[in-house]
């Protein structure tokens, strides 16, 4: 993370985290506090003299807990930054460093919602939801939405239909968020939505492509006759096993297909965003699937054999936000969409980042853009 900050030197930095504290919250939340303190006091961040940190740490609240963490850092050279107060319906100037945790429901500087339980009933206690903040920089207002959508509970169920039932659940939840952030309560502004969307490749189409010349063996449970495993073998070549599929097993014999050329051959199966093409824009993906990486610290590039690798972690934006991003007047690459720590173990997800520049006054209908006024 610090290497990316040093390389791109952002003046405004937003960091969105999901599943803060890991799976075992009660044991891990103490590490969260240490992480936050080290991040705020680190030498790499010394030039960021203002910060806002929002941590949903109240894991005892089954009704509200989302495990989301949103960090915002403002460089000392950046003047006149304002954050929106959703209760007072006005902007307030950002000064100093402030950390909010535990009960974010009482904080007027954000909106937080957890998705209703009936969205994903097979998960007894889901933490999925979103946090929204609104900012104004150089007369340009925009929303930043930290989002965590529902996962695939079973590879076998995901494989049965195209698109899968899980894809439909994510579609419903994302649609709910988009409707919420453009409803009539507040003025409409451009928005960026980024976090763990849990978007998956179309499992049926991927398996049929990867195992086009294979024969499938179905293994059922003796007592229920339920399908518990699928084995795909090559028709010849001593009937070598190509893929084994179980509820939480996706063991394909050649992981290179997900890494070669950043896995772009599989992007045609990344279809979940197509439903929202009229509402959301994404830059071209030029990094490998962001999930599920091995959590073995010595295996920074290795995928786990639990799920089909997919681009779960994304940075999406409204079409008006796309217009805010300053277009380069020469060949200099100003807009960069990439992943962090390609060779380093960072947990089962690789973080992704988007670096861009916004022109001063870009949020105005008629913007007088001068090179001397560019804010990064």
| Count: domains in the chain | 1
Give a yes or no: residue 117 inside a domain: yes
Give a yes or no: residue 326 inside a domain: yes
Give a yes or no: residue 315 inside a domain: yes
Of 136, 158, 52, whose CA–CA distance to 92 is shortest?
A: 136
In sequence order, the β-bridge partners of residue 216 are 232
- Supply 259's token pair: 């890494």
Cα separations in angstroms, 5 against 341, 354, 374: 12, 11, 18
Question: Can you give the CATH number for the domain in which 16 is found?
Answer: 3.60.10.10
Give a yes or no: residue 370 inside a domain: no
Give a yes or no: residue 163 inside a domain: yes
* pLDDT tens digit sequence for 122-177: 776 788 999 999 999 988 999 999 999 999 999 999 999 999 999 999 999 999 99
Phi and psi, residue 24, nearest 5°: -105, 85
DSSP-derived letter for residue 124 is T
Residue 337: half-sphere exposure toward Cβ, Cα within 13 Å: 17
- At residue 370 the predicted structure's pLDDT band, cuts being 50, 70 and 90, is very low
In the chain, what percentage of residues exceed pLDDT 70? 93
Kindly report the average pLDDT of the chain as a whole number: 91
Give a yes or no: residue 15 inside a domain: yes
Give a yes or no: residue 213 inside a domain: no
Q: Count how many residues are written for the chain.
A: 376
Round to whole Å and give the CA distance between 81 and 92.
8
> Which residue do the tokens 């962001």 mark?
290
Range of the domain at 131: 1-200+258-355
**Would you tell me how many other CB atoms lie within 10 Å of the CB of residue 2?**
11
Q: What per-residue confidence (pLDDT) applies to 369?
A: 38
Give a yes or no: residue 277 inside a domain: yes
Q: What is the edge-to-edge ordering of all strands in the sheet holding 12-17?
A: 12-17, 69-75, 48-55, 97-101
* pLDDT tens digit sequence for 10-36: 999 999 999 988 878 778 888 888 999
Residues 275, 280, 281, 282: is their CA dihedral positive or negative?
negative
21 CB-near residues (< 8 Å, 6+ apart): 28, 29, 31, 32, 57, 59, 67
Round to whole Å and give the CA distance between 216 and 156.
13
């Amino acid at each position: 993370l610090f290497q990316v900050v040093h390389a791109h030197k952002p003046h405004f930095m937003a960091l969105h985290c999901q599943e803060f504290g890991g799976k075992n919250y009660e044991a891990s939340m103490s590490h969260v506090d240490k992480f936050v303190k080290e991040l705020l006091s680190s030498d790499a961040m010394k030039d960021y003299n203002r910060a806002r940190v929002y941590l949903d740490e109240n894991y005892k609240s089954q009704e509200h807990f989302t495990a989301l963490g949103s960090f915002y850092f403002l460089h000392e050279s950046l003047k006149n930054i304002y954050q929106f107060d959703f209760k007072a319906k006005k902007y307030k100037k950002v000064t100093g460093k402030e950390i909010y945790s535990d009960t974010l429901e009482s904080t007027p500087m954000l909106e937080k919602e957890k998705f209703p339980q009936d969205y994903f009933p097979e998960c007894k206690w889901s933490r999925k939801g979103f946090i929204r903040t609104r900012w104004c920089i150089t007369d340009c207002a925009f929303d930043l939405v930290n989002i965590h959508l529902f996962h695939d509970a079973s590879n076998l169920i995901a494989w049965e239909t195209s698109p899968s039932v899980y894809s439909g659940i994510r579609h419903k939840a994302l649609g709910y968020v988009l409707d919420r952030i453009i409803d009539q309560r507040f003025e409409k502004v451009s928005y960026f939505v980024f976090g763990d969307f849990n978007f998956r490749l179309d499992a049926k189409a991927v398996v049929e492509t990867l195992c086009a010349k294979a024969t499938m063996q179905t293994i059922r449970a003796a007592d229920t006759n339920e399908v518990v495993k699928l084995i795909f073998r090559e028709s010849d070549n001593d009937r070598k096993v190509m893929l084994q599929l179980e509820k939480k097993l996706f063991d394909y014999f050649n992981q290179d297909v997900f890494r070669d050329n950043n896995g772009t051959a599989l992007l045609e199966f990344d279809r979940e965003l197509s439903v929202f093409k009229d509402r959301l824009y994404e830059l071209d993906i030029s990094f490998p699937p962001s999930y599920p990486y091995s959590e073995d610290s010595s295996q920074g590039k290795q995928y786990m054999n639990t799920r089909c690798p997919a681009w779960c972690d994304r940075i999406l934006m409204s079409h008006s936000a796309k217009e805010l991003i300053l277009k380069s007047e020469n060949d200099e690459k100003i807009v960069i969409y990439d992943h962090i720590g390609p060779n380093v173990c960072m947990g089962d997800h690789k973080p992704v980042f988007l670096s861009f520049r916004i022109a001063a006054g870009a949020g105005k209908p008629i913007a007088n853009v001068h090179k001397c006024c560019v804010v990064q």
